[in-house]
């Protein structure tokens, strides 16, 4: 496995692969790998001849009051996991490589980014779409892999690639959960054992919502009330949002229609956690 922080070296290596008609898969990450990241690398390994993993904690997607400086970093462990799961190349640029001193260009996707996470974190998606665009331009992969845990991010990236005619397939991958159903997140490093037990309530609340919809409840107001009740019963009091949106357009929904994204964001202690489910609306 090759490691580099050089854009030129990445491009040279990819050019060599493409001369030999090799397919290239990219897994963009911010590091602090868990089994969710590993599942993305494994899928990329299965579906491509050459696998690139990027590790870059992107300052442009953090607001000034967010956890950029505290975000977990464990490059030694990440490199070992990347290699063990089949990565051929790890691209680890620093801030100056990605954002030179005179940097002033950003990529913005409208409409999809003004709700859910975008409403809570107004500058977030501009940072996400900019870094993803840069990585796609640097690596020029045939396929790029993103987890469903950040469902809105997945929808936004898919729209960006479609709108800008980028020659890459965006592959959405399932959420990886632990035995308690908690969606794995690098931010779990911030939680103690008691808080991790509290976090079980996140997925339990979503399961209750799914159960209601599948049993015929068409009033999303009632479903939301049940989700909130379950969260509060687990001691989760700080709830940023619980929303129902059409997948992948993210149009708000009041009743079942097509594929439904139920997503939420909560805070446990000082840690903000996301989760979601996507389900097909039942035929009523």
The residues annotated with a catalytic role in the active site are 37
- Torsions phi, psi of 252, nearest 5? -60, 145
Percent of the chain that is helix, strand, coil (3-state, to 5): 40, 20, 35
Cβ atoms within 10 Å, residue 122? 12
Cβ atoms within 10 Å, residue 234? 18
Distance of CA 185 to the CA centre of its chain: 10
SS3 label, residue 171: strand
Sheet architecture: strand order including 2-4: 2-4, 89-91, 50-55, 24-29, 143-147, 169-173
Two structure tokens written together for 42: 């494994």
What does DSSP say about strands 143-147 and 89-91: parallel, antiparallel, or unpaired? unpaired
Two structure tokens written together for 84: 């063990």
Q: Which residues pair with 147 in a beta bridge?
A: 173
Report yes or no: 71 and 186 within 8 Å, Cβ to Cβ.
yes
The alpha helices in the chain, defined as continuous H runs, are 7-19, 35-47, 75-84, 95-98, 117-120, 124-139, 151-163, 193-214, 220-233
What does DSSP say about strands 89-91 and 2-4: parallel, antiparallel, or unpaired? parallel
């Amino acid at each position: 496995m090759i490691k580099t922080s050089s854009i030129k070296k990445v491009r040279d290596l990819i050019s060599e692969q493409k001369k030999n008609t090799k397919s290239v898969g990219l897994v963009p990450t911010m590091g602090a790998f868990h089994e969710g990241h590993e599942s993305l690398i494994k899928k990329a390994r299965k579906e491509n001849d050459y696998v690139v993993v990027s590790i870059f904690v992107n300052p442009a997607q953090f607001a000034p009051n967010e956890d950029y400086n505290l975000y977990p970093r464990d490059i030694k462990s990440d490199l070992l996991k990347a290699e063990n799961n089949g990565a051929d190349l790890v691209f680890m640029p620093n801030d100056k490589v990605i954002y030179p001193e005179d940097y002033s260009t950003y990529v913005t996707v409208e409409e999809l980014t003004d709700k859910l996470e975008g409403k809570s974190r107004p500058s977030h998606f501009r940072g996400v779409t900019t870094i993803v665009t840069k990585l796609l331009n640097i690596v020029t992969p045939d396929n790029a892999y993103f987890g469903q845990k950040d469902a809105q991010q997945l929808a936004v990236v898919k729209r960006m690639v479609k709108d800008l005619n980028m020659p890459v397939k965006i592959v959405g991958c399932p959420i990886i959960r632990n035995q308690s159903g908690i969606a794995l997140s690098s931010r779990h490093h911030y939680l103690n054992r008691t808080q991790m037990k509290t976090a079980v309530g996140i997925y339990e609340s979503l399961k209750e919502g799914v159960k209601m919809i599948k049993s015929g409840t068409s009033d999303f107001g009632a479903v939301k009330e049940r989700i909130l009740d379950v969260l509060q019963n687990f001691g989760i009091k700080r709830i940023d949002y619980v929303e129902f949106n059409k997948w992948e357009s993210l149009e708000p929904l009041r009743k079942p229609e097509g594929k439904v994204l139920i997503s939420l964001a909560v805070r446990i202690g000082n840690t903000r956690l996301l989760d979601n489910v996507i389900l097909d609306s039942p035929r009523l």
